[in-house]
Homo-oligomer: A and B are copies of this chain.
Amino acid sequence: MKSGAIDFYFDFISPYAYLGSQLVDALGERQGRGVDWRPLLLGISVLRVMELKAIADTPLKGTYSRHDAPRFARYLGLPFKRPHGVLKPLAPMRAFVWLKQNDPAAATLFARTFFRAQWGEGRNLSDPDAVAALAAELGHNAPAVRAAIDDEAVKQRLRTDVDAAIAAGVFGVPTLVVDGELFWGADRLPMVERWLESGGW
């Protein structure tokens, strides 16, 4: 490993974070960097700070992103299927935070798998029981995951993490931070890779 890890900020609600999630670990591997997956809560925290509404609720931009995200997935060779219904990222984000406390690699695998199930296969896994079931498919203890989702300490940990992300200037997903440089957007991964290859500019 070269110096620091790549910080990868994500929120399960975002199809663009999904696209980044399927690519970032391979990018880190190619560049000899670890990847530190970090939670953000776009709708619940960041957009309030920015006084913005969600992309999906923004005229013109919402229409664009519904067409662009699957087109971008095809460009990258990734499966894409929009899940039905409202997505509520709190339960899986809490499960991620809880898993990460003991085993960051397992948390990363959970998050990458969750993204793929939700945005690649179109499964709406917002329900806490569905989150626990997915974790169980990866070998985790379903009742423990289910309990963690309602655990006050886990909730607080997620809030603390999100506050720290905002304090670091992160406002969208995916955001990658390398050596103190923020790059926002799934379309910026090639630029991040160039940054790592070249040492920056």
Chain A residues at the B interface, C-beta cutoff of 8 Å: 46, 49-53, 58-61, 63-64, 67-68, 71-72, 74-75, 166, 169-172, 181-185, 187-188, 190-191, 194, 201
Contacts and interface: CB of A to CB of B under 8 A. Distances in A.
B71 A61 contact: no
Contact of A64 (B71, B171, B194): B171
Given A50-B60, A187-B188, A190-B190, 15 more contacts: A46-B60, A49-B59, A50-B58, A50-B59, A51-B59, A52-B58, A60-B166, A63-B169, A64-B171, A64-B182, A71-B181, A74-B201, A75-B194, A75-B201, A187-B191
A112 to B, nearest CB: 23
A181 B70 CA distance: 13
Contacts of A190: 190
A61 B185 contact: no
Contact of A61 (B60, B171, B183): B171
A120 to B, nearest CB: 17
5 contacts: A52-B58, A60-B171, A64-B171, A64-B182, A187-B187
Contacts of A74: 201
Contacts of A185: 185, 187
A61 B181 CA distance: 14
Which 3 residue pairs are nearest across A and B when measured between Cβ atoms?
A: A60-B171, A187-B187, A74-B201
